[in-house]
Amino acid sequence: DWNMPDYIAEAVEAIRQQVGSDEVILGLSGGVDSSVAAALIHRAIGDQLTCVFVDHGLLRLDEGKMVMEMFANNLGVKVIHVDATQQFMGHLAGVTDPEAKRKIIGREFVEVFHAESDKLKNAKWLAQGTIYPDVIESAGKGKKAAHTIKSHHNVGGLPETLNLKLLEPLRELFKDEVRKLGVALGLPHAMVYRHPFPGPGLGVRILGEVKKEFADLLRRADAIFIEELRNTKDEQGQSWYDKTSQAFAVFLPVKSVGVMGDGRTYEYVVALRAVQTQDFMTAHWAHLPHELLGQVSNRIINEVRGINRVVYDISGKPPATIEWE
Ligand code: XMP
């Protein structure tokens, strides 16, 4: 059982010892691990830390705004916000295979990050939000490779080619400890207890070819779903967001017929996915209340022009995976 203020003081001291007066660069994704790492390192060395936030155009609604608000405005962290939407969309045009999409997004991410880090000539360290389970997982990579169903490209993971020393202050922590540390460092509860979000983002939630127009529709549908999950509570007062491990909308590039007023519509379909799981290796679909599903469906169809049908995914993992690609 560790005492949080003592832990922070020790961690801050260790970081100061390690980096001295060097400059540090960190890829901020908006996820829990990189966010907590950024907050901790900033506490230790302030402006010696520069974060790079790469928007590949496949993030959730207002993600860039949220990250800049929290880190740059509230915490006073130096953050470089790179909008690389055009670059990613360009390379993804015409590509439909899920693995090919993952590879392109991973490769472009590294390229954008490289270009930014080259500009920070004095940076000697690359900070990463690696946590203990990641350390264990990569130690066992060789064995597991034969069973890989999806190559999990995590845009937080950057290669050795940057020629920087690695700073990984969360290496010894489990996820629940990382969350507690985040709260103690002043990060909002809602951000520290966020669902996981895949590195390739909406790139694997838009089936087939990724288009900006699809990403824009999906972002709005997804935001409505998440908002309703956060606002709908059970008898104990726990939100359905907190009762599920991961929840999101998926864009299906097929059109179906609908009616609106006196007219006929012919628009796209969105699937909702919500799962409960301990380890993400197996998962159950969440038994969301029908009223909640109905409300989400009504709102998406009324508010997001271009989507006229909403379906709910009732597949377990296995045999389905959590993401649709
Ligand atoms: P699946 O779809 O394999 O997902 O059941 C299990 C968990 O992994 C996440 N996931 C990814 N995370 N890069 C990531 O960083 C990826 O390429 C990727 N693919 C899946 C997924 O969101 C779920 O939490």
Question: What's the pLDDT score for residue 150?
Answer: 76
Q: What is the mean pLDDT of each run of 10 residues along the chain (325 residues)?
A: 88 98 97 98 98 98 97 97 98 98 97 95 96 87 59 65 91 96 96 97 98 98 98 97 98 97 96 98 98 98 98 98 98
CATH of domain 205-312: 3.30.300.10
Q: Is the CB of 137 under 6 A from ligand 1?
A: no
Question: What's the pLDDT score for residue 160?
Answer: 67
Question: What's the pLDDT score for residue 155?
Answer: 60
Counts of helices then strands in the chain (DSSP H, E): 12, 9
Closest CA to ligand 1's atom 17: 152
Question: What's the pLDDT score for residue 153?
Answer: 66
Amino acid, single-letter form, for residue 204: V
Distance CA 143, CA 172 (A): 22
Question: What's the pLDDT score for residue 162?
Answer: 80
Please state the domain extents for the chain: 4-192, 205-312
Report residue 115 CA to chain centroid gap.
Answer: 22
Distance CA 245, CA 261 (A): 38
Of ligand 1's listed atoms, the one at least distance from the Cα of 321 is 5
Closest CA to ligand 1's atom 3: 321
Distance CA 173, CA 187 (A): 17
CA distances from 229 to 64, 170, 303, 310 (A): 21, 30, 17, 16
Q: Is the CB of 242 under 6 A from ligand 1?
A: no
Question: What's the pLDDT score for residue 223?
Answer: 98
Question: What's the pLDDT score for residue 215?
Answer: 98
Q: Is the CB of 323 under 6 A from ligand 1?
A: yes
Task: Write down the residue that tokens 């203020």 correspond to.
Answer: 5
Q: Is the domain covering 4-192 a CATH 3.40.50.620 domain?
A: yes
Question: What's the pLDDT score for residue 151?
Answer: 76
Binding region for ATP: 29-35
Q: How far is the CA of 280 from the centre of ligand 1 (A)?
A: 8
Quick check: do 4-192 and 205-312 share a fold?
no
